[in-house]
Amino acid sequence: MIVDSWFTVQQIDCNTYAISEYGHWEKVHSFLLLGNQKAALIDTGLGIDNIKRITDQLTTLSIDVITTHVHTDHIGSHGEFERIFVHEDDKDWLVNGIKGLSIEQIRKDISRDITLPLPSNFNADTYQPFQGEPTDLLVDGDVIKLGDRKLIIYHTPGHSPGHICVLDEKNGYLFTGDLLYDETPIYAFYPSTNPSDLVNSLEKISDIPNISMIYGSHNTLGLEPIILKEVKRAVKFLRENELTKFGTGIHKFNGFSVQF
């Protein structure tokens, strides 16, 4: 077991790890998936500390970074890795900067409500989100092969234009990024989001068969797939009541909520 001052490493199975940042109010999870030929890292965290320090201890395989979406808390250590993949609709944000969030707001959010000692080299006043060219672009239906493990990409816009979910077909794990998690609302209330797209994306993942566990990027690590039945109900409710638009507020369901 890895003991670290900033990251918490939790083993999901013998070839899958959650790398979590519980010292930050967002409680961010990144995920390392090992195949017999290479590995995939789903997101790289906040960038408060260097997640590569952890992945180096877990594998010697080459790592493909799969970006669920280009927000600060998911691309923090992208600069530490050679191979970065992002959906084509979020490429502009990765290269030219995240739309709709000022650097002042980003720095404020990155440094508030910290409950663990910060790394000595972290300075919120000079914090800069990663910007750079991806290795390649992802589209809906792409398959990433790790050898004995196959990852299927689902384009699930709404929280960002190029948000994706990742299905580990072999194990039935669905990594949902910021499309589905519990405890705090799923956000689609700022100008760079799209409430209607987000609801369509929730419907899309609710129809994926043979899910064994859902792993969102925040809060509780691992949600039982029964929640997808509630997702279906939520989609129907939101549409029938014409709530899929900005300004309708927080909508609470059994196990999750959304904010438009």
- Tokens at residue 180, please? 């589905």
Give residue 247's pLDDT: 94
* CATH superfamily label, 8-184+211-225: Ribonuclease Z/Hydroxyacylglutathione hydrolase-like (3.60.15.10)
Show the beta-strand stretches assigned E in 8-62: 8-13, 16-21, 28-34, 39-42
Q: Where are the beta strands (DSSP E) in 97-149?
A: 136-138, 143-145
- pLDDT (tens digit per residue) in 160-169: 999 999 999 9
For residue 214, what pLDDT is reported?
98
Mean pLDDT of 183-210: 94
Least confident span in 25-34, 99-108, 194-203, 246-255: 99-108
Per-residue model confidence (pLDDT) at position 67 = 98
Mean pLDDT of 62-75: 97
Q: Is 74 helix (H, G, I), strand (E, B) or coil?
A: helix
pLDDT confidence of 126, banded at 50, 70, 90?
very high
Residue 7 binned pLDDT confidence (cut-offs 50, 70, 90): very high
